């Protein structure tokens, strides 16, 4: 008997060589096949008289095979099958290239349906490579709303339609993880109907209803996972860390700047959470340059003063090194040293040490503030008393990976497994408020929506013509003469076949150095350089050995050069607004007036409208909202980075759906906290977690 868990290797109609192709798509079982959704539909439902057909349109016709010929073409040596189909109104030719089975299948006198695009050649109208099937059969490939699947790995939409038709005929049980009362309350179809509607809808309405059901499922699972994690944090025990106000005040007094009101408010919220006997679980969401690091430093100081450890995790070595350098300066006037552990670095008490030496000191509790990448979460890393985990730029981690970081804090990271570390996650990408519930429903939120008082708004202009570009180059020369520095940003490292028109940073570096700025010193930074090479280039730029740094998107976060006052962004339309805002944040980090010039590669009305948003505002939250409306959530986050499936991503701006999913998740967990009465839901949640484990 066929079930959801039946391996596809047990289905006779799927050949051994096809199994390998399916596996490359992550399709192993009947369930996987059912959840391989169409990405669009061709509407072939209306059958048209042959006499009414016109070129360059797609149609379905029904008629009798009048004659059929097959053989090789004279010129290209291709196998060609040609048939003439006629109905009461007229006749048309159908041709197929290199599809021998067509000649073996079609016979004169056979009545068929055919769907495809009509074109015109020297002999008249012709339909090239149409899908076809006998008229007496139920419509699968023609005469209906035909599902089109992502045709990768050599698997055609026709293959998926045939196989799914067979699966629906043989599958008797469709175990539905979502309780029936929820489906009734929300007027959503059962799983059986939803799967059939998405693969074989009679018209657009059932397909949309099916997508609504699956969007709810995915958001419901995300909310359940978030609420379970929140409950775990609320019931777990943590080290209560009371704040020594006098010591904290003295520490703040050593800082070379005054805290903003937003920084003080966020710090108060965080320190208050850390004073409780249950673990903090908070998101610090701040704009570029709003000073998140210093807020994290105040929390780390409170821990260190109690003899407790803080781990700050960053997604890249570049960013980890930047945090290490910044925090080392912040803590320079204290007795607390900052350590660094990444794949390339092991710095303890200001010295490079061996990994065993570092790990021994870590487990003995010697460094109290430890910065690192995921190297900090490896099995052989043990802390003495880890009280706080800070994760920076969490939008670069997937949903499942973020959950994993939180779950890691429940593991035996130190000698006190009964005590859970406080958890603070930070992002410099302002998340539109409509998305905070979807992505971070389990986190308390602190906002940094205020910039330091000495910061001047960055002047942003769009330069779309050659004269404007020359004017900018001249301005760069004058700013460098005044002692300032500049960034020039490009989308890619080298020429790509898919994007031939994109300027390569490597080639442009040479062009700028030899032709545009021959008397200036120009550095180059890109993602394919080794970590230590990047460090060297950034250090040299910071020390003013370069006047201009040509770079790719690697500079989006983690580079702090207060003397840089200009950033030019080439092919600006290729970046999202949120990413452009991140780039812009590389300048304007000191008292100097700073400038951002956006240079579109292909000026167009739509591109300019998008880029004008940046010219009008410096508010990251306003820009994020605009980016979301222009590009959609999939592009805003990057589906892979978000860790969310496609249908959930499509519906991330549907606040009503997210709110309903959140409410239903709260309701079911209030009635059945362990989901013991819902075993199918437990199983579905486990599979969902596996599905979104993308990184």
pLDDT for residue 504: 62
Q: Which residues of 82-91 are buried (b: 16+ CB within 10 A; e: fewer)?
A: bbbbebeeeb
Q: Which residues contact 191 (CB under 8 A, 6 or more apart)?
A: 174, 175, 176, 177, 178, 213
**pTM score, two decimals?**
0.67
pLDDT for residue 419: 75
The residue ranges of the chain whose pLDDT is under 50 are: 395, 398-402, 412-413, 415, 493-502, 636-644, 693-695
Burial degree of 161 (CB within 10 A; 0-12, 13-18, 19+):
buried
C-alpha closest to that of 99 among 87, 86, 116, 121 = 116
Domain boundaries defined on the chain: 46-143, 235-448, 459-617
Q: List, for residues 199-209, the tens digit of each pLDDT value.
A: 999 888 999 99
Gap between the Cα atoms of 393 and 370, Å rounded: 17
pLDDT for residue 398: 46
pLDDT for residue 347: 94
pLDDT for residue 648: 59
Gap between the Cα atoms of 260 and 266, Å rounded: 10
Phi, psi of 121, deg, nearest 5: -125, -165
Cβ-contact 134, 100 below 8 angstroms: no
3-state class (DSSP) for residue 183:
helix
Q: What is the 3-state secondary structure (H, E, C) of 529-594?
A: CCHHHHHHHHHHHHCCCCCEEEECHHHCCCCCCCCEEEEEEECHHHCCHHHHHHHHCCCCCCCCCC
Cβ-contact 477, 517 below 8 angstroms: yes
Q: Which residues contact 417 (CB under 8 A, 6 or more apart)?
A: 411
pLDDT for residue 329: 92
Contacts by residues 627-631 (CB-CB < 8 Å, ≥ 24 positions apart): 627/576, 627/577, 627/578, 628/432, 628/434, 628/435, 628/653, 630/577, 631/576, 631/577
pLDDT for residue 502: 42
Gap between the Cα atoms of 12 and 491, Å rounded: 48
pLDDT for residue 171: 92
pLDDT for residue 472: 94
Q: Say which CATH architecture domain 459-617 belongs to.
A: 3-Layer(aba) Sandwich (3.40)
Same fold, 235-448 and 459-617: yes
Gap between the Cα atoms of 8 and 18, Å rounded: 10
pLDDT for residue 312: 94
Gap between the Cα atoms of 140 and 137, Å rounded: 8
3-state class (DSSP) for residue 527:
coil
Domain 235-448 fold: Rossmann fold (3.40.50)
3-state class (DSSP) for residue 42:
strand
CATH classification (class only), 46-143: mainly beta
Q: List, for residues 322-335, the tens digit of each pLDDT value.
A: 899 989 999 999 99
């Amino acid at each position: 008997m066929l079930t959801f868990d039946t391996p596809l290797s047990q289905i006779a109609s799927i050949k051994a060589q096809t199994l390998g192709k399916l596996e490359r798509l992550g399709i192993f079982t009947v369930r996987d096949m059912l959840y391989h959704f169409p990405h669009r539909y061709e509407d072939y439902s209306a059958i048209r008289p042959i006499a009414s057909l016109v070129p360059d349109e797609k149609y379905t016709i029904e008629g009798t095979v009048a004659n059929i010929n097959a053989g090789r073409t004279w010129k290209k040596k291709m196998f060609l099958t040609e048939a003439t189909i006629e109905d009461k109104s007229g006749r048309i030719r159908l041709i197929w290239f290199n599809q021998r089975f067509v000649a073996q299948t079609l016979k004169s006198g056979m009545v068929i349906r055919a769907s495809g695009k009509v074109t015109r050649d020297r002999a008249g109208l012709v339909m090239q490579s149409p899908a076809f099937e006998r008229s007496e059969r139920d419509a699968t490939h023609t005469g209906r709303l035909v599902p089109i699947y992502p045709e990768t790995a050599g698997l055609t939409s026709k293959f998926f339609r045939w196989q799914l038709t067979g699966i629906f005929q043989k599958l008797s049980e469709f175990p539905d993880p979502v309780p029936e009362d929820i489906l009734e309350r929300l007027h959503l179809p059962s799983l059986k109907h939803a799967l059939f509607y998405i693969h074989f809808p009679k018209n657009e309405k059932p397909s949309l209803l099916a997508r609504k059901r699956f969007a709810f499922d995915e958001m419901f699972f995300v909310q359940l996972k978030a609420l379970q994690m929140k409950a775990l944090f609320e019931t777990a025990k943590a080290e209560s860390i009371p704040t020594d106000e006098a010591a904290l005040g003295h520490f703040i007094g050593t800082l070379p700047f005054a805290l903003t009101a937003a920084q003080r408010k966020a710090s108060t919220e965080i320190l208050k959470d850390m004073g409780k006997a249950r673990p903090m679980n908070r998101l610090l969401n701040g704009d570029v340059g709003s000073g998140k690091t210093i807020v994290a430093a105040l929390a780390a100081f409170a821990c260190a003063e109690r003899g407790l450890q803080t781990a700050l995790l960053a997604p890249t070595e570049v960013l980890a090194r930047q945090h290490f350098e910044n925090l080392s300066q912040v803590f320079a006037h204290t007795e607390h040293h900052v350590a660094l552990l990444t794949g390339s670095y092991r710095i303890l008490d200001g010295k490079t040490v061996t990994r065993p030496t570092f790990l021994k000191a870590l487990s003995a509790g010697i460094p109290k503030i430890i910065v690192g990448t995921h190297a900090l979460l490896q099995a052989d890393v043990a802390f003495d008393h880890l009280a706080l985990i800070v994760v920076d730029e969490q939008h670069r981690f997937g949903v499942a990976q973020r959950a994993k970081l939180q779950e890691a804090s429940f593991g035996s990271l130190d000698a006190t497994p009964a005590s859970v570390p406080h958890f603070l996650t930070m992002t410099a990408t302002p998340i539109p408020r409509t998305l905070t519930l979807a992505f971070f429903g389990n986190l308390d939120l602190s906002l940094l929506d205020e910039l330091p008082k000495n910061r001047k708004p960055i002047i942003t202009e769009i330069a779309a013509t050659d004269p404007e570009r020359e004017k900018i180059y001249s301005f760069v020369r004058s700013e460098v003469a005044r002692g300032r520095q500049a960034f020039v940003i490009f989308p890619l490292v080298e020429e790509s076949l898919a994007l031939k028109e994109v300027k390569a940073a490597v080639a442009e570096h040479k062009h700028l150095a030899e032709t545009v700025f021959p008397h200036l010193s120009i550095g180059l930074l890109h993602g394919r350089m080794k970590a230590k090479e990047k460090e060297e280039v950034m250090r040299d730029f910071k020390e003013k050995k370069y006047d201009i740094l040509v770079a790719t998107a690697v500079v989006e976060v983690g580079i702090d050069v207060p003397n840089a006052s200009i950033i030019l962004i080439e092919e600006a339309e290729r970046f999202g607004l949120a990413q452009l805002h991140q780039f812009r944040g590389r300048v304007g980090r000191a008292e100097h007036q700073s400038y951002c010039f956006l240079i579109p590669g292909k000026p167009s009305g739509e591109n300019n409208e998008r880029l004008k948003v940046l010219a009008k505002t410096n508010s990251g939250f306003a820009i994020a909202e605009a980016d979301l409306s222009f590009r959609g959530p999939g592009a805003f986050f990057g589906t892979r980075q978000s860790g969310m499936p496609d249908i959930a991503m499509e519906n991330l701006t549907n606040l009503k759906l997210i709110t309903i999913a959140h409410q239903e998740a709260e309701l079911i967990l209030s009635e059945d906290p362990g989901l013991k009465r819902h075993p199918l839901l437990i199983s579905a949640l486990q599979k969902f977690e596996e599905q979104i484990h993308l990184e």
